[in-house]
């Protein structure tokens, strides 16, 4: 109990009164828990993502509820409900499972969410697939999520809906019970008007969002794009300055609330003995080569192919660095059922093979490719090990890897090369910012990073760490709800 009180006391204290009087109901496509079989039956193990880490103490405090799909990984559960009560004495909350049929998984999740909205919201119009059967299932599945919320929630609850999979849910809820207060946070970018209007269902999607009391985006640019679309497509009054959308019967608040990470957890782990040992072991193996690191979910938005081409250009231009750099690319398998992802994986495999074939001389291949999920400890060891992090998505809502890399720089000697098209670039201004499509400049920036003085590295890391410490994941929650508290 003591640890828990400290957690709430230190980091989320302002929200204590608010959430003891109002229950938090979080809704996301996937529940952040994974089933694990034990001798006593199935236990649900909490994922390591920032969102669940930050919301866990609030959910316990408010006796809350998290509604979502289990990703098809669990066994049928009686009543579709599980109580999270471990560790004992720290309060409890409930998970409510939403079951999806094969058709829903295929049309709502893999197709409309991940092959229509995901590419469109990232400005990859050419990859967006417009299919009215998928839209119909997306619509019905959102109505089904909304129905589950309506069964569970009361007007005094704070309902917080997460992400693009559930864009229609706020309006469905509002329509059926105007006393409920849904809030929304979008984890992807929101595209400019000229991109968004291409979507045949742009109007109902905007109307869906507008069922919310408040809509949060990572950065001001996305919030501005959204306001622009609302004004032009729905012909509704918008006050840009205050971020207020004026509907006939009520207002909707729109704002920028950049998500972050559990900074202290990453920093402390980077200092831990086990991580230090891992780093030393890798270093002994790799020697004094300059280590450049890329870490991503394997997704075409992350710019992995262009990054590899920039490394290739670097090796072409700076012959003396052949066998003196090692580029480690870590990729987590993702959406492997979607064709675009399978094709992209093949392309990346081939590009790596080609570059390694071209530049492997006497020594090591220049690219080391890890295609699997890593434990937090392994990941942090790579962050600490890397002299340079090359985080160059073509477009990214925020990009937490960049923030995790900075938090893990306990020796203050890493250089972050970051895409200017990641939301994180708005805050991490001491990174070397690049246009990821400008392969020549990215390759020159690698050179600049290698040549950077220790003093300059330290100065930049310290500045970004100061900000990271202050604006961690707990700050994000306070920032979002603190404002609600004053409404
Ligand atoms: P993602 O696109 O998944 O999230 P990101 O923000 O980079 O992207 O977060 C990835 C997370 O996965 C990180 O916390 C990282 O630690 C973890 N991870 C990455 N590679 C891993 C590996 N090999 N093994 C284990 N873990 C790994 C979406 C949006 C982002 C936005 C987040 C949060 O696309 O833009 O930043 O949501 O809002």
CB-based contact 223:182 (threshold 8 Å): no
Q: Give pLDDT, residue 353.
A: 97
* 465 CB-side CA count, 13 A: 20
DSSP string, 347-364: HHHHHHHHHHHHH--SS-
Query: So what's the pLDDT on residue 8?
Result: 52
Distance 400 CA to ligand 1 centre (A): 6
Q: Ligand 1 centroid vs 150 CA: distance in angstroms?
A: 31
Q: Which residues contact 39 (CB under 8 A, 6 or more apart)?
A: none
Residue spans of alpha helices (H) in 252-367? 263-271, 273-286, 304-317, 339-359
- The CA angle 417-452-327, to the nearest 5 degrees, is 50
Per-residue pLDDT at 425: 98
Q: Which pLDDT does position 1 carry in this prediction?
A: 32
- Beta strand 237-239 with 244-246 is antiparallel
> Strand 181-185 to strand 214-217: parallel, antiparallel, or no bridges (unpaired)?
parallel
150-156-161 Cα angle (round to 5): 55
Beginning with the edge strand found earlier in the chain, give each strand of the sheet holding 158-162 in spatial order.
81-84, 93-97, 65-69, 24-30, 158-162, 181-185, 214-217, 251-256, 244-246, 237-239
Nearest CA to ligand 1 atom 15: 401
Q: Where are the domains of the chain?
A: 13-260+473-481, 263-469
Residue whose CB lies within 8 A of the most ligand 1 atoms, among 53, 258, 384, 400, for a mutation test: 400
Going by pLDDT thresholds of 50, 70 and 90, the confidence category of residue 45 is: confident
Q: What is the mean pLDDT of the segment spanning 118-142? A: 98
CA gap 150, 173 in Å, rounded: 7
Close Cβ partners of 143 (under 8 Å, ≥ 6 residues apart)? 168, 172
Tell me, rounded to whole angstroms, the distance of Cα 4 from its chain centroid: 25
Length of the chain (residues):
487
Q: What is the pLDDT of residue 20?
A: 83
Query: Which of the four pLDDT bands, split at 50, 70 and 90, describes residue 484?
Result: low
**Mean pLDDT across 68-81:** 76
Residue 147 vs residues 10, 78, 142, 150, 171: alpha-carbon distances, Å: 37, 19, 9, 5, 12
Distance CA(91)–CA(111), nearest Å, equals: 38
Q: What number is the average pLDDT over the span 337-366? A: 92
Range 416-433 average pLDDT = 98
Residue 246 and residue 231: Cα distance in Å, rounded? 10
CATH domain 263-469 topology: Rossmann fold (3.40.50)
pLDDT band at 81 (very low <50, low <70, confident <90, very high): confident
Distances (CA, A) of 479 to 48, 209, 270: 22, 20, 27
Average pLDDT, integer, range 101-112: 96
CATH topology of domain 13-260+473-481: Rossmann fold (3.40.50)
pLDDT-derived band at 74 (thresholds 50, 70, 90) equals low
CA of 329 to the centre of ligand 1 (A): 14
Average predicted confidence (pLDDT) for the chain: 92
pLDDT value at residue 2:
34
**Per-residue pLDDT tens digits for 159-174:** 999 999 999 999 999 9
Ligand 1 mean position, distance from CA 296 (Å):
7
User: Hey, what long-range contacts does 333-341 have (CB within 8 A, 24 or more apart)?
Assistant: 333/298, 333/371, 333/372, 333/373, 334/297, 334/298, 334/299, 335/110, 335/114, 335/299, 337/110, 338/110, 338/114, 338/115, 340/115, 340/127, 340/300, 341/298, 341/299, 341/300
Whether 4 has a pLDDT exceeding 50, the answer reads no
Can you tell me which atom of ligand 1 is nearest the CA of 330?
Answer: 23
Measuring from atom 38 of ligand 1, which residue has the nearest CA? 187
Distance (Å, whole) CA 396 – CA 154: 35
pLDDT in tens, 245-284: 999 999 999 999 999 999 999 999 999 999 999 999 999 9
CA of 240 to the centre of ligand 1 (A): 30
Q: Taking the model in full, what pTM does it have?
A: 0.95
**% of the chain at pLDDT higher than 90:** 79
Residue 36, sorted as left (phi over 0), alpha (psi -120 to 50) or beta, turns out to be: beta
Please say if the pLDDT value at position 216 is more than 50: yes
pLDDT (mean) for 65-72: 91
pLDDT tens digit sequence for 9-44: 456 676 777 788 889 999 999 998 887 778 777 778
For the CA of 396, the closest atom of ligand 1 is 35
d(CA 386, CA 357): 23
Topology agreement, domain 13-260+473-481 and domain 263-469: yes
Question: If DSSP codes are grouped into helix, strand and coil, which group holds residue 476?
Answer: helix
In the beta sheet, which residues pair with residue 480? none
Distance 50 CA to ligand 1 centre (A): 9
485 pLDDT above the threshold of 70:
no
Question: In this structure, what token pair is assigned to residue 174?
Answer: 């509002």
Q: Which residues line ligand 1 at a C-beta cut-off of 6 Å?
A: 187-188, 259, 295, 297, 330, 332, 373-374, 379, 396-401, 404
Q: What's the confidence (pLDDT) of residue 40?
A: 76
Output the CA 295–ligand 1 centroid distance in Å. Answer: 9
């Amino acid at each position: 109990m003591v640890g828990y009180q400290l957690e709430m006391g230190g980091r989320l204290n302002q929200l204590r009164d608010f959430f003891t009087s109002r229950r938090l109901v979080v809704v996301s496509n996937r529940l952040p828990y994974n089933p694990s079989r034990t001798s006593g039956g199935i236990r649900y193990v909490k994922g390591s993502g920032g969102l669940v880490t930050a919301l866990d103490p609030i959910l316990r405090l408010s006796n809350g509820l998290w509604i979502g799909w289990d990703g098809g990984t669990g066994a049928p559960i009686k009543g579709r409900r599980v109580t999270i009560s471990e560790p004992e004495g720290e309060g409890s909350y409930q998970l409510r499972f939403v079951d999806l049929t094969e058709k829903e998984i295929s049309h709502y999740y893999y197709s409309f969410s991940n092959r229509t909205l995901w590419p469109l919201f990232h400005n990859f119009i050419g990859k967006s697939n417009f299919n009215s059967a998928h839209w119909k299932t997306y619509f019905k599945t959102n109505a089904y999520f909304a129905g589950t919320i309506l069964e569970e929630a009361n007007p005094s609850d704070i309902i917080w809906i997460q992400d693009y999979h559930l864009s229609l849910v706020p309006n469905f809820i509002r329509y059926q019970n105007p006393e409920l207060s849904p809030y929304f946070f979008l984890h992807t970018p929101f595209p400019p008007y000229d991109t968004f209007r291409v979507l045949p269902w742009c109007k109902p999607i905007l109307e869906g969002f507008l069922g919310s009391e408040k809509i949060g985006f990572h950065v001001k640019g996305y919030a501005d794009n959204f306001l622009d679309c609302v004004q032009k497509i729905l012909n509704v009054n918008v006050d840009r300055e205050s971020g207020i959308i004026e509907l006939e019967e009520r207002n909707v608040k729109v704002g920028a609330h950049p998500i972050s990470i559990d900074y202290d957890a990453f920093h402390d782990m980077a200092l831990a003995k086990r991580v230090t040992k891992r780093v030393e072991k890798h270093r002994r193996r790799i020697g004094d080569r300059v280590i450049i690191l890329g870490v991503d979910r394997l997704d075409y938005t992350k710019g992995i192919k262009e990054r590899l081409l920039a490394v290739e250009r670097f090796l072409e231009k700076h012959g003396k660095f052949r066998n003196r750099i090692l580029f480690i690319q870590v990729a987590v398998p993702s959406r492997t059922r979607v064709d675009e992802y399978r094709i992209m994986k093949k392309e990346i495999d081939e590009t790596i093979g080609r570059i390694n074939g071209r530049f492997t001389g006497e020594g090591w291949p220049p690219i080391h490719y890890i295609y699997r999920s890593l434990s937090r400890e392994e990941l942090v060891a790579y962050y600490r090990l890397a002299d340079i992090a090359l985080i160059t998505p073509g477009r990214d809502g925020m990009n937490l890897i960049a923030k995790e890399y900075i938090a893990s720089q306990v020796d203050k000697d890493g250089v972050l090369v970051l895409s200017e098209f990641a939301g994180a670039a708005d805050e991490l201004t001491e990174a070397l910012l690049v246009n990821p499509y400008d392969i020549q400049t990215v390759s020159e920036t690698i050179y600049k990073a290698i040549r950077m003085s220790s003093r300059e590295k330290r100065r930049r890391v310290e500045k970004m760490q100061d900000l990271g410490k202050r604006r961690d994941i707990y700050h994000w929650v306070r920032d979002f709800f603190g404002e609600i508290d004053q409404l």
